A and B are shown apart, each in its own frame.
Chain A
Amino acid sequence: MWPLIDNALEHNGLITAFAVVGGIMWLSVLLSKYLTFGRVHGSAIAIVIGLVLAWVGGTVTGGQKGLADMALFSGIGLMGGAMLRDFAIVATAFEVQATEARKAGMIGAIALLLGTVLPFIVGAGVAYAFGYRDAVSMTTIGAGAVTYIVGPVTGAALGASSDVMALSIATGLIKAILVMVFTPVSARLLALDNPRSAMVFGGLAGTVSGVTAGLAATDRRLVPYGALTATFHTGLGCLMGPSILYFCVRGLVG
């Protein structure tokens, strides 16, 4: 009986991947609701589960492509591969209201720019300190410190190795979780009580899931303002990471 099912699942790899990822999402929404009381967003938990599964897959098979190395889950490789990933990320730009962007004004634009450049410098600096001294690895890990999307998009564009990509995703993910958890605690320190500072916060903290979850726990009415600038964050990062920022790093380390 099992070989029959196994065969069917393997031959419909992508469909199996949809079902598996759907299951992971369902589980993480439940975990988010009952374990963290909505403090940590379901999507962040789902990505953590994904990374853990990649570790399991890598340990079991000894391969380099995580869960996708197991024949049963080869469809994960297609679903999360560069092609569908870029396709889905580009689609998110559709929800950006360009006319809304004017409301954020100059301060939003400055916050966005700083929110891309500052984490990048920190990330690339830490990477350098730990011996990742080639321009591609430094840029990829630095971009991961911007958001967990900008990291792999930049890494794929520059041809970074998979372990550097995994580090870059993990960096962005830890950042998103820190933002979610610590925003309500530090709301007073950050003066997060008005739409304007919420927009500054969205631009600087980046990661849409981190910003929206953090603001929702602080004051629900601030969410649209933070999300407004945060939605541009990933786009700006994807634009600057593999271009200007990479050239700067390459110019510095050769």
Chain B
Amino acid sequence: MIIYGVALLAVCTLAGVIVGDFLGVLLGVKSNVGGVGIAMILLICARLYMHRHGGMSKECEFGVGFWGAMYIPVVVAMAAQQNVVTALHGGPVALLAAVGAVLVCGLTIAVISRSHRGEPLPALDAPPASNAQVAPAGGR
């Protein structure tokens, strides 16, 4: 039943939020400490457990999958209710922070990729010998 999937997701989300709030009280901060992240870990574990022990039907997965697919639309709705007018008074903070973050990450990627080089994929024109999915992952 689809509702089982939705209920599983709801239980994981609630548990994560409660644990996050509890951690916040424990650590003496007025905030939710990592609640969404904890909920995600719970959901991944629940999925692994149910795959091993059965009980995960196609419809149940669909109940969770639907909400996963709604994530971008929900984020669009979230963006549409922010205080953008005030934020624009903040100046080029967003632009500078984004450009800085991309530059720093780009440099790090270049350093890591070049110092630990993996084997390149064959050229695209060559006939695909095997499916990319089964190619060995990682260089060494």
Contact = CB atoms under 8 A, between A and B. Distances in A.
A91 B65 contact: yes
B117 A89 contact: no
B77 A50 contact: yes
B129 interface: no
A66 B98 contact: no
Interface in B83-111: 83-91, 93-102, 104-106, 108-110
Contact of B77 (A79, A118, A195): A79
Contacts of B57: none
Contacts of A149: 75
Nearest to B96: A126
A107 B137 contact: no
A25 B101 contact: no
Interface string A57-92: 111000011111000010011011100111111111
A96 interface: yes
A91 B83 contact: no
Nearest to A235: B40
Nearest to B39: A90
B118 A196 contact: yes
Interface string B66-79: 11101111111111
Nearest to B27: A247
Nearest to B128: A221
Given A21-B77, A55-B88, A79-B77, A122 B139 contact: no
Nearest to B140: A196
Given A197-B109, A246-B31, A66 B83 contact: yes
A134 interface: no
A46 B81 contact: no
Interface in A171-197: 171-175, 178-179, 182, 186, 189-197
A17 B43 contact: no
A141 to B, nearest CB: 6
B101 A91 contact: no
Given A167-B94, A191-B110, A54 B67 contact: no
Q: Identify the interface centre among A125, A192, A243: most chain B CB within 10 Å of its CB.
A: A243
Interface of B: 9-10, 12-13, 16-17, 20, 23, 27, 29-41, 43-44, 47-48, 61, 64-68, 70-91, 93-102, 104-106, 108-110, 112-114, 116-121, 124, 132-133, 135-139
25 contacts: A46-B72, A55-B88, A65-B82, A66-B84, A76-B80, A77-B81, A86-B36, A90-B13, A91-B68, A91-B71, A92-B40, A103-B137, A111-B112, A114-B108, A152-B78, A174-B98, A196-B137, A197-B113, A197-B118, A204-B112, A237-B37, A239-B36, A239-B41, A242-B31, A243-B34
